[in-house]
Amino acid sequence: MAVTTRRMQDLTVEDHTLTVPLVWGDDADPRTLEVYAAVVARSGGQDLPYLVFLQGGPGFEAPRPYHAPAAPSWLDAALEHYRVVLIDQRGTGRSTPIGDADLARGTDELVEYITHLRADAIVRDCEAVREHLGASTWSVLGQSFGGFTTLAYLTTDAASLREVFFTGGLSAVGRHPDEVYALTYDKLRDASTRYYRRFPHHRDTVRQLADLAADGRIILPDGEVVSVSRLRSLGMLLGSNDGWQKLHALLETSPHTNAFRYDLADALPFSPRNPLYYVFHETSYADGFATRWSADRVEPDDFRDDVTLLTGEHVRREWLDTVPGFGPWRDVVLALAEHDWPKLYDADRIAASDAHGAAAVYVNDLYVPVEFSLETAALMPGVTPWVTSEHEHSGLREGDVLPHLFDLARGARVR
């Protein structure tokens, strides 16, 4: 293992790199990968307990340890009480990242490799880091997919967790991906309607842009000919606190300008910069199921008929044909869509975990439906839910969310 220490203003950052098995529990498999973790402490906080941050995604590395605004404001709040462990989940960042170069392995080998990047394996990596740091227990902050991973943690290794904090990360337990995606379409329908109620002229703008896309007349700087479904995925912006402003600015820009093309490229979700997010996304809801392009299959009729109804975190099979950066991944993605994923969560074990902490559950969450989040919260009576319409899915980025969760976990009066 490799450890280095550096200073970042008043922060001490220890860089840890561990070599771990690719396949946990199979001593006959010699393959390994590296897992990187940054342990961050404020001056004078080197003896505080550990809080490990599990990033959203899947397919994204952890944020880097700077002060806000270069890093999210929650980090400064967390450092008041903890040493923060920022782990790049396997396959991302500095933890043996997956990228286009891996396509040279061949489809079968790469598909098999990617099946070992799930939340259950991330939990085993976390346990290796915890033991390496000499901590008998630590606390976890799970944002979005990181919260899903925390549920997997409670399923297998709850004794290692002192406190758990969820932000938009209480996944459905035991439900089929089709149920989740069907409900997220309902959320996007409502979000689209609310947006057009505020800016009614933008409904015609989106319709005009969809006509341009259907004619192949919106071309991004990387050469992507934007499809109608790709354009409609701009609804992803409506799931963050200030995303509507970015959407509004884009729709006020002439589509015949460089500014529009570059801004659109920046606004679209599922960038080839992080192919794993597209390749691997639907598996995050595959709690014992194959996904088989769930979001495509359950799209409601009104979404098929009305191009102004925006979509969000819904991956599309057709993007394998229309997004240049995804085309090389075709065979891998098609194979993963048919893969029968084992169960991640055990409701009985989560209920028996005696988990303590707090969870931000966002009423208007477009990606993690509040209805299923509250079902999951009911399994953990020691985790206080904060059900709020004050923030969208990105609420952790705001300065007040994490301190409020800390207060709830410590029994402070709910505001």
* pLDDT 10s digits, 313-352: 999 999 999 999 999 999 999 999 999 999 999 999 999 9
Please state the pTM of the whole predicted model. Answer: 0.95
* Residue 335: per-residue pLDDT: 98
**Joined tokens for residue 1:** 């293992």
- Residues 152 and 146: their CA atoms lie apart, in Å, by 10
**Dihedral through CA 391, CA 395, CA 399, CA 400, nearest 10?**
50
Rounded to whole angstroms, the Cα distance separating 65 from 12 reads 9
What is the residue type of 203?
R
Q: Give the architecture (CATH level 2) of 2-174+343-409.
A: 3-Layer(aba) Sandwich (3.40)
Cβ–Cβ < 8 Å for 379, 173: yes
Tell me the sheet residues that pair with 12: 7, 41
Is residue 393 annotated as part of the catalytic site, yes or no?
yes
- Closest to 111 measured CA to CA, from 402, 269, 341: 341
Give me the pLDDT at residue 68, please. Answer: 65
The residue annotated as part of the active site, out of 47, 215, 301, 340, is 340
Residues 6+ apart with CB under 8 A from 201: none
The per-residue pLDDT for 411 is: 83
How far apart are alpha carbons 377 and 372 in whole angstroms?
9
Residue in this structure with the two tokens 């639907």, named with its chain if needed: 282
Reduced to 3 states (helix: H, G, I; strand: E, B; else coil), residue 43 is coil
Q: Pick the catalytic residue: 281, 391, 393, 404? A: 393
Choose the catalytic residue: 73, 95, 139, 144. 144
Q: In the prediction, which pLDDT does 65 show?
A: 87
Q: Which residues of the chain have pLDDT under 50?
A: 413-415
Domain-wise residue ranges, the chain: 2-174+343-409, 177-337
Residue 414 is predicted with a pLDDT of: 44
Q: Which candidate, 190, 152, 191, places its Cα nearest to that of 171?
A: 152
